[in-house]
Structures are given as C-alpha cells and as structure tokens.
Amino acid sequence: MPEIGLGLGVVLLLILGAEFVNGWTDAPNAIATIVSTRSLSPYQAVVMASGMNLLGVFSGTAVAATIGKGIIDPQAIDLTTVGGAMVGIILWSTFAARFGLPTSESHALVSGLAGAGLATAGPEVLLWDGWKKVLWGLFFSSVLGFIGGRVIIAIVQRLSRHAVPGRVRGLFRWLQILSSAFMAFSHGSNDGQKFMGAFTMALVLGGVQAEFAIPIWVIFICAGTMAIGTLSGGWRIMRTLGMRLTKLTTYQGFSAEMAAASTIELASRLGIPLSTTHTITTAIVGVGAARGIRAVRWGVTVELVTAWILTFPMCALISWLTVTIIRQLFR
C-alpha cells in the first residue's frame, strides 16, 4: 500500500465511512424479503449478504469508472471536493436510516459529487456522458424493476398453478435463498463499485496514482468495509421493505429478488450506476400489485418516494455547504 498524506488520509477515511453507511443502509435491501418470509433468520441473511456482496465487488469495475471519471471532471476538482461529497452522503443517509427510510446511496453519491463539484468549479464541472448513465439508471430501477417483478411473478404463478401449495412453499424457500444471494451479489457488483471509484479518484487527486486504475488493495478495503457495514445491521430498513410495503410469501420474494437482481446485473455490465434500493422496491411493488392494487401499502410507498426525491437536493446541498465552509475557513 502506498504512503498516504494526512489530507488524503482524512478523505479516504470519509470515503470508507460512506462505504460503511452504504453497507449499513443499502445492503439490507438485498435480504429484506428473505427475512420477511422467514426463509432465513436475520443473522443468517446478513452473513450471507456480506459474503455475496464481497464477491460481487470483484465482478467488474465499469460502474467504478463511471463514478470516478464520468460524473464530475476530475481535472477541475480537488480532495476537498471528494471529502465534502462524502460528508453529505454520511449525514443524509444516517439521518434517513433513523426513520427506517432506505435512501439510495447511488443518488446520494452522484448528487454529493455534483454539489461539491459545483462549489469547487461551477456548472462546467458536470460531465453529461456520466449523467446520461445516471438517467438510464433511473429508468432501469423504476421501470424495469416494476415490469420485471410483474413478469416473473406471472410466470411463477402459471408454472405452479397445479402444484400442491405445501410443496410450492418448501421449494421456493430454497429458491429464495438462491435469489437473495443473487440480489446481494448484484448489490456488490453495482453499489460496491461506486465507492471504489471515489476512492481511486482521491488517490489520483492526492498524487498517489498518475492515472485512474483501481488497485486490488482498494477493492479489498472497500469490499471489506461494506461487508462490515452490512453485518452491523439495517433492521429498520429491512422491516420497511420486507414487511411494511406489502405482504410477501416465498415465491413472491423469489420473484421480486430475481427481477431486481437481473436488472442490477444488466446495469452493472453496462457501467450504469443505478439505485439498488429503487430496483428492489419497484420489483416488490410490481409483485405485490399482481394481487391487486390494494395489496400494496401506498402510504409506505409515498414515504419511500419522498425520501428518494429529497436525496438529490439534500446531499447536493450538504456537500455544497461543506466545501464552501471549508474553503472559507482555509483560504
């Protein structure tokens, strides 16, 4: 591991703090349904998710490159910019988590970088190519997640319509363990990569690396930090998604997880940073709506959507203020 100065060290610790919050507040989305259907205990689910998140992080770096080079111009910013963005993520996500609201760390990260970048260099710092991928991520998470949930639940219901109910529950208990593992893996392949991109960006800005290339030790540190965050629990968020949004059985949980995980994996291969929170939530809503519109608790859905909408301006504002204040104090 290269020698790291004090200023860079502080920024890297902030990035790891945001990665920990990511594991704490976002990774529970991957196991919310399997806990609610009691296919696994909360402890078993968290341990499984931590391991699969770790494996997912090693599956590619396309999303990390988008975050590190495509959202804001790395030539126009400095370490204060990156540190300010991480402060915005940590403060907002921790605040929302206290109320059991699963915020999107993807949107927190890109909006935090945008707000900090605007405070550093103005509107010219934003890169349109990367933001196009963010918009595609919104489409993937909102539309494909919902449609995928509806389609997969329809296929599952058709294939099992003549089966004995008890056998169906037993079969899908085991299948849901596999789908939940797939969901946790996909979370690592997309969300886990994002903070690797920010970490490597900081190394370049700090002069440790001459160009953007993700070292293996960065992958290990970020993956391990996210795994520790996941192990620390996110029980309120798990309850919101797995129990409050709609009532799920094992085959419904399986359908939602397969729809969400498949969508996330497709986005990861295309280098699209999307919200795993949005994706699993819209998939759960799609599965629940298959039983009728009253099967979904729309009041809870409105709470979630409100938290998502607030994430963009709040993280951007906190990050902008942080960078502005630091620059005023240390001119």
The number of CA neighbours under 13 Å toward the Cβ of 311 is 28
Q: Is residue 331 part of a domain?
A: no
Residue 169 lies inside a defined structural domain of this protein: yes
Range of the domain at 217: 6-324
3-state secondary structure of 163: coil
Q: What is the pLDDT of residue 265?
A: 94
3-state SS assignment for residue 152? helix
Q: What is the pLDDT of residue 302?
A: 76
Per the listing, tokens 């391990």 go with 224
What is the spatial distance between Cα 241 and Cα 28, in angstroms, rounded to a whole number?
9
HSE value, Cβ hemisphere, 13 Å, CA-based, for 209 = 13
Please give the average pLDDT of every successive group of 10 residues along the chain, which has 331 residues. Answer: 76 94 72 74 78 83 90 94 96 80 81 96 94 93 92 91 76 88 88 89 93 90 83 61 64 90 93 87 84 72 77 94 92 71
User: What is the pLDDT, as a whole number, of residue 295?
Assistant: 65
The confidence score (pLDDT) of residue 160 equals 85
Residue 330 inside a domain? The answer is: no
Q: Give me 9's structure tokens.
A: 């060290």
- Core vs surface per residue 200-216: b (16+ CB within 10 A) or e: bbbbbbbebbeebebbe
Smallest Cα–Cα separation from 169: which of 247, 249, 242, 284?
249
146, part of any domain: yes
Q: Closest by alpha carbon to 250, among 179, 146, 161?
A: 179
Q: What angle do CA 237, 115, 318 make, to 5 degrees?
A: 55
- Please indicate, yes or no, if residue 226 is contained in any of the structural domains: yes
Which DSSP letter does residue 211 get? S
End-to-end, the C-alpha distance of the chain in Å comes to 31
> How confident is the model at residue 53, as a pLDDT?
80
Q: What's the confidence (pLDDT) of residue 10?
A: 95
Q: Which residues of 218-228 are buried (b: 16+ CB within 10 A; e: fewer)?
A: bbebbbbbbbe
8 A C-beta contact, residue 42 and residue 57: no
- What percentage of the chain's residues is helix, strand, coil (to nearest 5)? 80, 0, 20
The Cα–Cα gap between 100 and 241 comes to 9
Rounded CA-CA distance 290/14 in Å is 42
Number of H helices, E strands in the chain: 14, 0
Asked if the structure places residue 1 within a domain, the reply is no
> What domain count does the chain have?
1
Q: Residues 6 or more apart from 226 whose CB is under 8 A from it? A: 19, 20, 22, 23, 27, 53, 54, 57, 188, 191, 192, 195
Residue 236, in any domain of the structure: yes
The DSSP letter of residue 124 is: G
Asked whether residue 329 is assigned to any structural domain, the reply reads no
Residue 22, φ and ψ in degrees, nearest 5: -60, -45
Distances 313 to 30, 161, 198 between C-alpha atoms, Å: 26, 46, 20
pTM beyond 0.75, yes or no: yes
